Copies of this chain bind each other. A is one copy, B any other.
Amino acid sequence: MADPPERTFSETDQAIMEATYRALREHGYADLTIKRIANEYGKSTAAVHYYYDTKDELLAAFLDYLLEQFVDSIHGVETTDPEERLELLLDELLVKPQENPDLSIALLEMRSQAPYKEAFSERFQQNDEYIRYMLKAVVNHGIDEGVFNDVDANHITRSLMTIVDGGRTRAVVLDNLEELETARRTASEYVDAMLR
């Protein structure tokens, strides 16, 4: 499986994406309006509509922009030793979100709209597949090297993603970053129990 398709953003596109990012962190997804994006952009709403015909189109582009950055950060984990690499990937998924709680809130809002917006659904689906692919590869690598038990890598991977998404959801809903630490510990316990 190759990396997800890349998308090119002109400097203007980038400026609008960053404006969207700021508006989203400040007001949340439910209160994200073209006007607020335009304010952050520093121009009129018509200027935003000049580059993106509809709000939906802009938001789809924004998800591409955001998830690309996320994929890059996952990609940045270069350690190859399976045991260490798995822990570092889990850190990336559960420790790093602590740096930006406002974004986590907005992202859960957007995820909750996936059932109504196919453009969202497609992108979250693809992103999830990519992360699962990365995790599965490490697990299989560990099995091949004999450091992990010969388990159902597909299931283990899905279980870890369940723990990751559970920690993220709970951190937002219960407004408590410790939920991410709990989930991180749970993930390690699960890895220990199933892979050794």
Interface string of A156-174 (1 = CB under 8 A from B): 0011011111111110111
Cα–Cα distance between A124 and B170 once the two chains are bound (Å): 10
20 contacts between A and B (CB under 8 A): A31-B116, A109-B113, A111-B169, A111-B172, A114-B175, A121-B173, A124-B173, A159-B182, A159-B183, A159-B185, A161-B170, A162-B170, A162-B182, A162-B183, A163-B186, A164-B166, A189-B190, A189-B193, A190-B193, A192-B193
Cα-based distance from A124 to B166 in the complex (angstroms): 15
Which residues on B sit within 8 Å (CB–CB) of A114? 172-175
Question: Nearest residue in B to A114 (C-beta to C-beta)?
Answer: B173
Whether A5 is near chain B, meaning CB under 8 Å from some CB there, is no
Number of copies: 2
Chain B residues near A30 (CB, 8 Å)?
30, 113, 116
**Interface positions of A (Cβ within 8 A of B):** 28, 30-31, 105, 108-109, 111-116, 121, 124-125, 128, 155, 158-159, 161-170, 172-175, 179, 182-183, 185-186, 189-190, 192-194
| Set of chain B residues within 8 Å of A172, measured between Cβ atoms | 111-112, 114-115
Q: Quick check: A161 and B169 within 8 Å, CB to CB?
A: no
For the complex, give the distance between the alpha carbons of A79 and B189 in Å.
28
Asked whether, in the complex, the Cβ of B116 is within 8 Å of the Cβ of A28, the reply is: yes
User: Contact at A175–B115, with CB atoms within 8 Å?
Assistant: yes
- A189 cross-chain contacts in B, Cβ below 8 A: 159, 190, 193-194
Q: A115-B105, A190-B190 are in contact. Are A169 and B165 (CB under 8 A)?
A: yes
State the Cβ distance, A125 to closest chain B Cβ, in Å. 6
Most buried by B among A112, A167, A172: A112
Across the interface, which residues of B come within 8 angstroms of A125, CB to CB? 174
